[in-house]
Amino acid sequence: MSTLDNVLSQIDANIDVSIDRLFELIRIPSISTDPAYRDACIEAAEWAKNTLIEVGFNAAIRPTTGMPMVVGHHAPENLPKDAPHLLFYGHYDVQPADPLEMWNTPPFEPVRVTGPDNIEKIYARGASDDKGQLLTFVEACRAWIEVNGHLPVKVTVLFEGEEESGSPSLAAFLDENADELSCDVALICDTNMWDAETPAITTRLRGVMHDEVTITGPSRDLHSGLYGGVARNPIRVLTRIVADLHDDDGRITIPGFYDGVKAVPPETRARWQGLNFPMDAFLGEVGLSVPAGEAEFPALEQLWARPTCDMNGIISGYTGEGTKTVIPSEATAKCSFRLVTGQDPLAIRKAFRDFVNDRLPSDCTATFDGHGAGTALEVPLDNPFLQKAADAMSEEFGKQTVLMGNGASIPIATSFKETLSMDSLLIGFALNDDQIHSPNEKYNVASFTRGTRSWARILQALAE
């Protein structure tokens, strides 16, 4: 038997003990958004550090102005000189558990349950996002080192404790520790498989630009009877501007918005068409049926490869029960643009603001409050590690690994690219129905088992 076979057997033999360890971590309610759980976050960081040391890493808690990072190194001396150096990223913090009354079991008391669908699942907050996911990698390393004495590659591990709070300390930490954390490639375990049977690597993430606009008309709220007809209503101004942002074909009308946006290459388009993405079911599950984006593009491209403009919130005037005869002074909309490679978030922000100002009646004003902005990310398909990792996973699952897009942003991947000049392989074993961020979050035992086995294979493959 090869070393890898022995590692895989070791994983299988100890899977229940591995899941017990996951349960230990889950029981620590490390909710980073709630100051009441600060001690729990630190306890989870300690747990992670101790576990890394136990596995065979040189690990330490690394303070930040917020929750600490955990950094571990495993650098075997007897590796070939050109053995790659991998950075693995996961996060030990979790989302709040409320609404508690919607949970079938207490969120921080994990249970293993085989449901009527005959699928065994682990129910708990963090079971999937991200404690279950990050532990697949740790347990793969454990089995490798138990069998082989060391990993076949150099590995640095970075666990963050503020991912669910917007990662306020991350940028500075990467900056300050760039030399220590720069590797050949990053592995990020926080994404989904294509489906329960099909592994996936996410190679495209959209960027995002958040902005908030407030239109001010009258200097105070007015009586809509006494002033209605002559007084400019900022809701009318704002809704007109928002409506103008899209044409009838779903195209965004901001001048220059599509400058630099490249078409999806024909081979990628063909590959995506071959995926037979169940768009009808995807939309049907949320009560929709008509793709709402640019009519000229296939729906999957609307989702993965085309930029968007969405209002995330709008508010003005009286919004309680019944009526109030008011012409409000102000109207506000929060908008976000999902961006693709070739678009500069800050240039888009400026173009949006110009678009608004160009449409402003002379007695109204617009003020803006810019929030986060990040560029889109594409892992080049010729990245030397990408195909090796994909093949290793294909072997584990007996099915071709899907190279997929994701319409959302994963800022850490962008930070790794921008600060550490590293591509990221986004490899995860979560499923669409894992209910992350919601009550009754779960992780399939099969996700955990095959995830751990996949990492064992990937470590081997990237060493070669």
Binding status of residue 81 toward a copy of itself by CB under 8 A:
no
Among 77, 80, 81, 243, binds a copy of itself (CB under 8 A): 243
Binding status of residue 171 toward a copy of itself by CB under 8 A:
no
**Which residues 391-420 are close enough to bind a copy of itself by CB under 8 A?**
406-409
Residue 201: CB minimum distance to a copy of itself, A: 17
Distance CA 456, CA 450 (A): 10
Among 63, 106, 149, 228, binds a copy of itself (CB under 8 A): 228
Binding status of residue 324 toward a copy of itself by CB under 8 A:
yes
Binding status of residue 158 toward a copy of itself by CB under 8 A:
no
Measured from the CB atom, the residue of 238 and 264 that comes closer to a copy of itself is 238
Among 238, 422, 445, 456, binds a copy of itself (CB under 8 A): 238
Residue 87: CB minimum distance to a copy of itself, A: 24
Residue 199: CB minimum distance to a copy of itself, A: 19
How many degrees, rounded to 5, is the angle at CA 268 between CA 263 and CA 272? 110
Measured from the CB atom, the residue of 136 and 302 that comes closer to a copy of itself is 302
Binding status of residue 322 toward a copy of itself by CB under 8 A:
yes
Binding status of residue 43 toward a copy of itself by CB under 8 A:
no
Question: 3-class DSSP state for residue 24?
Answer: helix
Among 336, 415, 449, 452, binds a copy of itself (CB under 8 A): 336
Binding status of residue 226 toward a copy of itself by CB under 8 A:
yes
Q: Strand 120-123 and strand 442-444: pairing? A: antiparallel
Distance CA 365, CA 356 (A): 10
The amino acid occupying position 183 is: C
Among 118, 276, 323, 421, binds a copy of itself (CB under 8 A): 323
The amino acid occupying position 48 is: A
Residue 451: CB minimum distance to a copy of itself, A: 21
Residue 357: CB minimum distance to a copy of itself, A: 16
Backbone angles phi, psi at 200, to 5 degrees: -150, 150
Measured from the CB atom, the residue of 111 and 279 that comes closer to a copy of itself is 279
**Which residues 253-312 are close enough to bind a copy of itself by CB under 8 A?**
279, 282-283, 286-293, 299, 302-303, 306, 308, 310-312
Binding status of residue 361 toward a copy of itself by CB under 8 A:
yes
Binding status of residue 342 toward a copy of itself by CB under 8 A:
no
Burial (Cβ within 10 Å: 0-12, 13-18, ≥19) of residue 387? middle
Cβ pair 15, 77 in contact under 8 A: no
Burial (Cβ within 10 Å: 0-12, 13-18, ≥19) of residue 20? exposed
Measured from the CB atom, the residue of 192 and 454 that comes closer to a copy of itself is 192
Binding status of residue 319 toward a copy of itself by CB under 8 A:
yes
Q: Please provide the DSSP assignment of 218-268 as one string.
A: SSS-EEHHHHTTTSPPHHHHHHHHHHHTB-TTS-B-STTTTTTPPPPPHHH
Among residues 279, 267, 274, 340, the alpha carbon closest in space to that of 308 is found at 340
Q: Please provide the DSSP assignment of 17-83 as one string.
A: HHHHHHHHHHTS--BTT-GGGHHHHHHHHHHHHHHHHHHT-EEEEE--SSSPEEEEEE--TTS-TT-
The DSSP element (H or E) to which 351 belongs, if any, is helix 345-358
DSSP code for 407: S
Among 111, 196, 235, 360, binds a copy of itself (CB under 8 A): 235
How many residues of this chain bind a copy of itself (CB under 8 A)?
A: 77
Report the Cα–Cα distance between both ends of the chain, in Å, rounded.
Answer: 18
Binding status of residue 232 toward a copy of itself by CB under 8 A:
yes
Binding status of residue 371 toward a copy of itself by CB under 8 A:
yes
Strands (DSSP E) along 329-438, which ranges? 330-339, 365-368, 373-374, 377-378, 402-406, 424-427
Binding status of residue 428 toward a copy of itself by CB under 8 A:
no
**Which residues 118-147 are close enough to bind a copy of itself by CB under 8 A?**
none
State the residue for tokens 């005869």.
325
Cβ pair 241, 359 in contact under 8 A: yes
Measured from the CB atom, the residue of 178 and 315 that comes closer to a copy of itself is 315
Binding status of residue 239 toward a copy of itself by CB under 8 A:
yes
The amino acid occupying position 140 is: A
* Candidate segments 38-46, 88-96, 105-113, 216-224, binder of a copy of itself by CB under 8 A: 216-224
